[in-house]
Structure 1
Amino acid sequence: MASLRDWLNHIVNASSLKEMIAGPKIGGVRQVISGHPAEGLTPQRLASILRAAAQGEPEAYFELAEDIEERDLHYAAVMATRKRSVAQLPITVKAASDKPEHKKHAELVQTWIDSGVLRASLFDMLDAIGKGISVMEIDWQAQGGHLLPRKLIWRTPRWFTFDPDDGETVLLREGASGVPLLPHKFIVHRHKTKSGLTIRSGIARVALWAWMFKSFTTKDWAIFVQNYGQPIRIGKYGRGATEAEKDVLWRAVTGIAGDCAAIVPREMLIEFHEVGSKSSSTDMFERRADWLDRQVSKLVLGQTTTTDAISGGHAVSQEHRLVQEDIERADAGDVAGSVNEQVVYNIVAFNFGPQDAYPTVHIGRPDEVPLDKFADAFAKLAPQGLTASASYLRDRMGIPAPKKGDELVGGKAPSAAATGGDGGEPPKPKDETARQALDRLFSEPRLSLHASADPDPVDRLTARLEEEAADAMDGLVGEVRAALMAATDLRDAAGRLAALDLSADELAEAMARGMALAHLAGQASLMDELKKKAIEASTRRA
């Protein structure tokens, strides 16, 4: 296999699929060892790093963004929370249509999803949340007669830059200006916190300022604790003390802070002076650091309740959780879009050739009604006529179909009407005449004046007509079905239907019965109404 075609119908050299392109090179521009620009970071230096990144030199910015994930506990925690909330979501595949070939394409993609390659790579793909971009190199390998990604390898963003002409096209650092990426070899996932250039859209670009100010605060806090966390030691020596005696006293004063013990001559004196308002000064540093952490929580997670215990109760926490779920859904949709366009479509194209439509991967929880609400709604709507296939209900409830020989629990008990027992209407004789049907209909006081609480006569007559016509309709439909099933093609089916001698006598007889019953019921209702008015008139005269 010398060449293939990708989903855009471009010719792809098959040998390039297995070749690793973006790995590190000793002595080249792609070095494993990274710099640490966070050391001694100042506002002026941070501004210059961000400015250089926006102007096409993002390496220091990528290094700094990685630095703060290693140095700041809170930022590392909230970023990991956001990434893992998406990385553990269900992954499903939807076929392009119900055509057999489209289902076959979806089955191949599902096989690759089941291998776990994509799930293992989601966390690294979501590195774009912080840096704005994440690049994964695809290692294509033949597996079971199909060409599939064996691994998605994360490549540090330091090894990539952007085309200065448009500021968006990603280039591999190679040579003086960089080389374009082969589209079938890489997944370039972009995350946009705001509109604009990708390099200026990562969360880290905003979080860096909060981290720097917090680092200043914690440094000042450490100095304060070191200087004022313990009482000031003052050593006093006599007027005639020698230099050697002063040295002894000095070593005692300086050593007592760490050792908390010292010995001095009897004539020397050491005093401890407490510093007032230490607690209020310490609270100032803590409040400032906590405030900056809360701003980072809002930036990354959209809320603070899931990371900080604050007042507000259960209702507030539920609202904040909904905000986090909205962000999770958006992140999952962005990742699924990158995976579909840059991996899934090529999986199908490389194995089946370019197609008009492709299966799609969905990452996220299904937007479905909770099971308790679903079951309650269906229980209420089913008696009103709502129907659904048993397979759908079983899938929705997660209950597999029972196998032969399984012990069954539950199920619907047969009704008394179905078994002909007490409480049900007796089965209708097959050869019942219209007179017998009329006698049976009026054998119970359904239409009498004294049974006003019983069902409406019109409803009763409608149900009776449906029952009378059921056998006749089934006979007509059965003959048509048998003719169609026996036909070999459309022409044969047309001939068989034309040759049928369908008789509607039984249906006409049933309709006549229904009309007769309706006429008699109308007369009965009229007589009841006249009788009722006669009773009311006699009552008024009395």
Structure 2
Amino acid sequence: MKEVDPKSEKGKKALEQEVATASVTGVRRAWNDDSIARGLNPSKLANVLASANRGDIYDFLTLAEEMEEREPHYGSVLRTRKLAIEGLERHVEPANDDEQSKKIADDINNLVQSAEFDDLISALVDGLGKGFAACEVMWKGFKTTSYVWRDPRYFRFSDDDAYTLRLCNEDGTAGDHLPAYKFVVHQPKLKAGIPIRGGLARMAALSYMCKTYALTDWMAFCEVFGMPIRVGKYGNGASNEDKAILRRAVANIGTDAAAIIPESMQLEFIQAANAKGGESLFENLANWLDKQISKAVLGQTMTADDGSSNAQSQVHNEVRLDLLKADAKQLTTTINQQLIKPYIDFNYGVQEVYPKFALYVAEPEDIAALVDGVHKLVPLGFKVPQQFLRDKLGIPDPNDDDELLGVASVEEPVNEPTKPSDKVEANSKTELNSNHAHHHDHPHDDEDGLDDFVNVSEAAIKDLVAKLHTANSFDEMLTMLNSAELNTSDIADVLALSGIKAFADGTVQP
């Protein structure tokens, strides 16, 4: 490509000039009625593909266009793959955190979010079927104004380079190289090799041809076996005029399979052996071919042919996720290199690092499983940012004046306990506190009653242990234990209170 000096007036005019204009005659025609699909057969298809391999791509591109128009299934799945890319969210990441980088990124973000940029994306994804796509960029003062899809039949690859595109001359021969910065050329890398052999139309062409045969034979079958046979009978004395009138009447009922015979004659119709079940034969063949096209274009058949549950379709997401990611990555690489970099160079000068335009492919997630996992992990101390969940669930940050949802607070009763177990526990505590008042030098304030147990028994046990240390024999120790005065009733009361509370709380089951 010839370099254009952004500072020169000549370079600016070259950018603003429309290049790939259509004409009334020649290769770059505004209206085109050429057809390759009409009368397509194995020999004709082989010639079309062989010519494309040698660089003569006009007939192949015509066939690829017709396949999208004539075959509903191929057109549908190819459009699904295109729209999957067109519907992705667009993001621009600044090159650095300085003000100039943010300013450039804001400008590029306005560029990619514009309605005109939709035309660029739509034009470039056309290359998925045909192997390449070229979109002419319209400039005005180093600012892009519009993007115009150009018919791929306006172009040819160089005779010495199967990757370099040239604008065709009026006689169909390869012309000059494309002017620099005037075209964005996207060549999807669906397979290794030259671009013209990597389009989806080439992969689907054989299935398309076979399906046209299947549909033609199916229609012929329905015409013969799906219509009743009309038989007109005339008497022996009928004149030729009467016979002609009868024949016209029979023929007007339907097409073919019509006959008139004398009443004295008999005609027996025998059903062909292969006619039974013929309708399912053609239908199964057509459905099988559709599945092959679906696998070629979408990478799967579930959402296009087989029918699926909601969960299955979410996993497959119409286009297989790895294909969508690859398509998005390749397309953004083309746009970053051929449009965004020149745009920045023209308006801000050459940069060391450039902002990155990207198409965001959202990963399908099981939201219910995510929420359940967070619900279980947070009580264990696992820290989860609230903004993370908001982004995953698509819940916006609330404004100051928004009415917020929340869990209704439940006020605990401050009067008498409502549960019988609570009442028993309260009465037991009251009685126990009264009985143990002489054993405590500090207030009783423990709900579980365990402090009561310790306070009641601690002093008595210490006294007993001190006496046991003075024993001179085992028999004397037994005598001291038997004669020890421990307040066992107080200990029993505390243990009983704790058991009642545990039963009321559900900690202990009966």
Q: TM-score, length-normalised on structure 2?
A: 0.70
Query: Alignment partner of 1:167: what SS?
Result: strand
Query: Alignment partner of 2:38: what SS?
Result: coil
Q: Does 1:159 align with 2:169?
A: no
Query: Alignment partner of 2:186: what SS?
Result: strand
Partner of 1:137: 136
Distance 1:162 1:44 in 2: 25
1:359 positional shift: 0.7
Partner of 1:21: 19
- Deviation per CA, 1:482-525: give whole Å up to 9, x if none: xxxxxxxxxxxxxxxxxxxxxxxxxxxxxxxxxxxxxxxxxxxx
1:16 positional shift: 1.4
- Deviation per CA, 1:312-354: give whole Å up to 9, x if none: 7666545544862222222111111111111111221111011
392-401 or 49-58, which moves further after superposition? 392-401
Distance 2:241 2:397 in 1: 95
Q: Does the 8 Å contact 1:233/1:270 carry over to 2?
A: no
1:284 positional shift: 1.1
2:229 aligned to which of 232, 238, 256: 232
Gaps of at least 5 residues in structure 2 are 408-444, 452-461, 479-510
Q: Does the 8 Å contact 2:229/2:258 carry over to 1?
A: no
Partner of 2:322: 326
Q: Does the 8 Å contact 2:303/2:318 carry over to 1?
A: no
78-87 or 175-184, which moves further after superposition? 175-184
Distance 2:150 2:242 in 1: 64
Partner of 1:340: 336
27-36 or 97-106, which moves further after superposition? 27-36
Distance 1:395 1:316 in 2: 23
Letter paired with 1:357: V
224-233 or 44-53, which moves further after superposition? 224-233
Structure 2 CA distance for partners of 1:392 and 1:335, relative to 1, 3 Å: same
Distance 2:237 2:365 in 1: 90
Partner of 2:251: 254
Query: Alignment partner of 2:56: what SS?
Result: coil
Q: Does the 8 Å contact 2:207/2:293 carry over to 1?
A: yes
Structure 2 CA distance for partners of 1:227 and 1:112, relative to 1, 3 Å: same
Following superposition of structure 1 onto structure 2, how do residues 271-350 of structure 1 map, counting pairs within 5 Å? 275=271, 280-310=277-307, 317=313, 319-321=315-317, 324-350=320-346
Letter paired with 2:168: R
Partner of 1:127: 126
Q: Does the 8 Å contact 2:132/2:195 carry over to 1?
A: yes
Q: Does 1:104 align with 2:103?
A: yes
Partner of 2:63: 64
Structure 2 CA distance for partners of 1:104 and 1:377, relative to 1, 3 Å: farther
Query: Alignment partner of 1:299: what SS?
Result: helix
Distance 2:123 2:26 in 1: 24
1:274 positional shift: 8.2
Partner of 2:361: 365
Q: Does the 8 Å contact 1:70/1:76 carry over to 2?
A: yes
Partner of 1:440: none
1:74 positional shift: 0.8
Letter paired with 1:170: L
Query: Alignment partner of 2:159: what SS?
Result: coil
Structure 2 CA distance for partners of 1:174 and 1:241, relative to 1, 3 Å: same
Q: Does the 8 Å contact 1:234/1:271 carry over to 2?
A: no
1:92 positional shift: 0.7
Structure 2 CA distance for partners of 1:183 and 1:206, relative to 1, 3 Å: same
Q: Does the 8 Å contact 2:234/2:261 carry over to 1?
A: no
Structure 2 CA distance for partners of 1:114 and 1:322, relative to 1, 3 Å: closer
Q: Does 1:169 align with 2:164?
A: yes
Query: Alignment partner of 1:178: what SS?
Result: strand
1:71 positional shift: 0.7
Letter paired with 1:64: L
Q: Does the 8 Å contact 2:91/2:359 carry over to 1?
A: yes
Q: Does the 8 Å contact 2:211/2:286 carry over to 1?
A: yes
Following superposition of structure 1 onto structure 2, how do residues 48-87 of structure 1 map, counting pairs within 5 Å? 48-87=47-86
Query: Alignment partner of 2:302: what SS?
Result: coil
Q: Does the 8 Å contact 2:80/2:319 carry over to 1?
A: no
Distance 1:381 1:233 in 2: 79
1:51 positional shift: 0.7
Letter paired with 1:150: T
Q: Does the 8 Å contact 2:250/2:258 carry over to 1?
A: no
Larger-Rg structure: 2
Distance 2:208 2:253 in 1: 35
Following superposition of structure 1 onto structure 2, how do residues 203-218 of structure 1 map, counting pairs within 5 Å? 203-218=200-215
Letter paired with 1:155: R
1:302 positional shift: 1.0
Partner of 1:39: 38
1:193 positional shift: 2.5
C-alpha RMSD of the superposition: 4.1
Identical pairs, percent: 33
Letter paired with 2:114: S
1:231 positional shift: 2.5
Q: Does the 8 Å contact 1:217/1:285 carry over to 2?
A: yes
Distance 1:283 1:369 in 2: 40
2:143 aligned to which of 118, 131, 148: 148
Q: Does 1:184 align with 2:181?
A: yes
1:53 positional shift: 0.9
Letter paired with 2:198: S
Structure 2 CA distance for partners of 1:289 and 1:376, relative to 1, 3 Å: closer
Matched residues, number: 416
Q: TM-score, length-normalised on structure 1?
A: 0.66
Structure 2 CA distance for partners of 1:26 and 1:408, relative to 1, 3 Å: same
Q: Does the 8 Å contact 1:59/1:158 carry over to 2?
A: yes
Q: Does 1:243 align with 2:229?
A: no
Following superposition of structure 1 onto structure 2, how do residues 457-476 of structure 1 map, counting pairs within 5 Å? none
1:183 positional shift: 3.2
- Deviation per CA, 1:156-197: give whole Å up to 9, x if none: 101011011121101110254311112311110112332111
Distance 2:106 2:315 in 1: 39
188-197 or 229-238, which moves further after superposition? 229-238
Structure 2 CA distance for partners of 1:265 and 1:366, relative to 1, 3 Å: closer
